[in-house]
Chains A and B, each alone.
Chain A
C-alpha cells in the first residue's frame, strides 16, 4: 500500500546522522577544502563504523526480512538516508571515510568467502576510468594476462577516488580485447605490489577533501585468485552487465549525495532569509510572492522530488525489485538539480554566495561532480531513454 510517510526509524536515523555530520564533518569542511590531499584525521572516528553500510555477507542482508510479503526495512534506504545527512555535512569527507570505498562495494557484492577474508577489512578503491575510456567503460585497454599462478597487469587508471588513502584497488582490465565487454574482469591489486604506482593526485574543482589519483600498472603481478568473479570469457555480455549492476545500487547513493549538498545550500539560504525577516509561506499564491521566495519554494520542491526518486530506487533494491531504470532516474534528476540548486543559492545569496568565508560557493563546486561520476547525467538519460523506448544501444546511440 502506497505510504510515503517517513517511518520513525528512518527519521531517527536521519537526525542522529545529521548530528554526527554537524558535529564532525561540517566544522572541518573548509579546512580540508583548502588542505587538498591532506588526510582528514578526524575521520579515524569512522573506522569500523558502518556508514556506507552494506552487509559483509549476503545472509546478513536478510536479517531484516520480515518474510511476510510486507515491505522490508532494508539497508539501501538507510544507506541513502545516511549519505544525504553526511553530505549535508561534507561530501568530500564522506567520500574519504575509511573502508567505505566503491571497491569495498564491489568486493562485498561479488567476492568469494576466501577473498572476503583477505580483503574484507581493507579500504578498497575502484579503478575503471582510463585516459581514453570515460563513459565508454567497455573500451578499456588495461590488460591482464595469466602467467602461471599470477595475473600480469599493464595500463593506466585515472580518477581513482581514495587513491592515496586506500589499501587496495579494484582494477578493471581486459583478459581478451577481442572479446570486447565480455573480456572485462576486475582484479584486486594491493598497495605496495611491485609495478603498481600511484602516479599523481589531481587538483579538482570541488570535493577536494577526497584524494583522486592516477595509477600506472607496469607489469604488475598479482596472485591468480585476486580476480573478482569468474575468469572465463563468455560469448555474451552477461558478465559485464553483472558488473554494471553494481551501479544500480551506487547510483542512488550518488544521487543522495547531491540531495545532501543541495539541502545544505538551501538550509543556509533559508537561515539568511529568516534572519532578514523574509517569511516563507506555504499557503498563499506563489505567483504573488517575491522572486526570492518563489525561487526558494521551487528549489525546495525540486529537492523533495530528488529525494523521493532516490528513496524509491533504494526501496526497490531493498525489496529485491529490479531498479535499473529507477536508479538512473534518481541519478539523472538529482545530479542535474543538485547542480542547479547550488548555483542558484549562490546567486540568491549575493556576495555571501561568492565569498569563501561561507560554504555556499564550496557546495556549488562540490555538487558538480554528482552529475558526472558514476555515469554522467547524459549516460543516465541514455539508460532511461533506451529503457522506456525499448531501444537497444545500437538503435539509440
Chain B
C-alpha cells in the first residue's frame, strides 16, 4: 500500500547515518574539501554498518538481507547532507557489487562477491563517464572488440571514483553499438590510472581518469556473460542514487540558509522577516521535498522489481535542475558571506552542479 512515512527500520537506519554524519562529517567537511581528503576512519565507520555484506546473499558469504533501493536512497540523502564526496566514497563498493549481484553470471558472482562480503574495505569502482563534449552514457565511445577468447577494450574514462585504490573495475564500453560492462583487474597492463582529477566540486572525493589501451580481458569477464548485462537497469540504479544525493546536497544548503536567515540581522530585524528572503526559503523547502519524493518514487519502482526507466530519468533531471537552483539560492541568501569559503553554501553550490552532469557514480 502507498505510504509516505518511514518504517521503524528505515527510521533507525536514517538516524544512524545522520548520527555518523553529525559526528564525523558536518564539522569537518570544509577542511576535508580544502585538503581533498576523506580520513579513512570515517569511511571505516560507514563500512561498519555493513550495508554491502548485507545485500550479498549468504551463499556468497554475505548476510543475505536483500537489497533495498528505498533504504539506500534514504541513507544516501543523509550522507550527502554531510558531504557529497563522502556519500559517493562510502557507498562505492555497492557501485561495483550491485551490477555483479544483479547481472553477473554465477561464475562472476562466485569469484567476486565473497571478496566484498569478507572485506568491507575491498575497493571496486565503475568507469562510465567519458571526458568529451556531447557525451552520452547510451552512446559510449569506449569500445570492446571481441578477439578469439578475449575482449580488447579501448577508451578514456573520467570521474572514476577511488580508481587509484580500486582492485576491481567495471568498465562501460560498447561492443558494436551495444553497451556492456567489463570486469577489469587493476593489474591489467592495458588499464592505466592517470593523475587525480581536479573538479569544480566533489573536492573530498578522489576521482581519476582511467585509460584503456588495447586492454585485453578474458571473454568470460564480460558482465552477464555472452548475453551481456541490462545496461539500462544500471542507469536506473545510478540515476536514482544521484537524485538521492542531490536531495541531500540541496537540503544541506536549504537548512543552512534557513538558519542563517533567522539569525542575520539587517535593518534591525532578521533578514528572514522579509518576503524576498523568506519566499526563497519556502521554495527551497518544498523543492527539497519534491526531489526526495521523486527519488523515492523511482526507488519504490526498483524495489518492486519494476522498470524504472522513466521514473529514474525524471527523478535525475529534476534533481539536477533543483539541486542547482536551491544551492544557488543558498549562496544568495547569505549574500557576500555566502561567497566566502568559511560558509558551506559555496561548496554545496559547486557540488550541486554535478547532479545534472554526473552519471554512474553511486547506486541505490
Contacts and interface: CB of A to CB of B under 8 A. Distances in A.
A385 B6 CA distance: 25
Given A2-B296, A305-B293, A332 B272 contact: no
A301 B294 contact: yes
B278 A2 contact: no
B295 to A, nearest CB: 9
B117 interface: no
Interface string B54-75: 0000000000000000100010
B2 interface: yes
B281 to A, nearest CB: 6
Sorted nearest first, the 8 A-B pairs with minimum C-beta distance are: A1-B7, A385-B278, A308-B293, A305-B290, A384-B282, A329-B286, A301-B318, A285-B136
A71 B289 contact: no
B317 A389 contact: no
Given A2-B7, A2-B300, A389-B272, 20 more contacts: A2-B4, A3-B3, A4-B296, A5-B301, A5-B306, A10-B2, A286-B313, A297-B317, A300-B314, A301-B318, A301-B321, A304-B294, A308-B294, A309-B290, A311-B4, A319-B5, A326-B289, A381-B275, A385-B282, A395-B270
B3 A308 contact: no
Contacts of A390: 262
Interface string B238-276: 000000000000000000001001100000001011010
A77 interface: yes
B281 A385 contact: yes
Given A2-B74, A284-B139, A329-B286, A305 B318 contact: yes
A390 B159 CA distance: 41
B3 A388 contact: no
B282 A77 contact: no
B273 A284 contact: no
B10 interface: yes
A43 interface: no
A389 B281 contact: yes
B111 interface: no
Interface in B60-102: 70, 74
Nearest to B293: A308
B6 A283 contact: no
B137 to A, nearest CB: 7
Interface of B is mostly: helix
A391 interface: yes
Interface residues of A, number: 52
A5 B293 CA distance: 11
A77 B1 CA distance: 12
A73 B1 contact: yes
B146 interface: no
Given A282-B313, A301-B294, A288 B134 contact: yes
Nearest to B137: A285
A389 B258 contact: yes
B278 A389 contact: yes
Most chain B CB inside 10 Å of its own CB: which residue of A297, A300, A389: A389
B12 interface: no
Interface string A277-316: 0000011111110000000011011101100110110011
B300 A3 contact: yes
Contact of B314 (A5, A304, A395): A304
Interface in B1-46: 1-7, 9-10
A384 B318 CA distance: 21
Interface string A246-266: 000000000000000000000
A388 B300 contact: no
17 contacts: A3-B303, A4-B2, A282-B314, A284-B139, A285-B136, A287-B356, A304-B294, A305-B290, A315-B3, A329-B285, A384-B282, A384-B285, A388-B258, A388-B281, A388-B285, A391-B273, A396-B275
A308 B290 contact: yes
Contact of A309 (B9, B270, B289, B304): B289
B138 A284 contact: yes
Contact of B138 (A7, A70, A285, A384): A285
A24 B52 CA distance: 54
Contacts of B279: 378, 381-382, 385
B232 interface: yes
B181 interface: no
A282 B138 CA distance: 11
A1 B70 CA distance: 9
Contact of A4 (B4, B235, B317): B4
A302 B315 CA distance: 10
Contacts of A380: 282
Given A298-B321, A388-B258, A396-B278, A3 B1 contact: yes
A6 interface: yes
Interface in B127-163: 134-139
A397 interface: yes
A305 B33 CA distance: 32
A157 interface: no
Given A300-B314, A308-B290, A3 B70 contact: yes
A282 to B, nearest CB: 4
B122 interface: no
Contact of B3 (A2, A284, A298, A309): A2
A77 B275 CA distance: 32
Contacts of A315: 2-4
A314 to B, nearest CB: 10
Contacts of A326: 289
Interface in B280-338: 281-283, 285-287, 289-291, 293-294, 296-297, 299-301, 303-304, 306, 309-311, 313-315, 317-318, 321
A37 interface: no
Nearest to B295: A4
Given A3-B2, A304-B297, A284 B318 contact: no
Contacts of A282: 309-310, 313-314
A288 B136 CA distance: 8
B258 A283 contact: no
Interface string B185-211: 000000000000000000000000000
Contacts of A391: 262, 270, 272-273, 278
A309 B286 CA distance: 8
A45 to B, nearest CB: 30
Contacts of A321: 5
Nearest to B277: A385
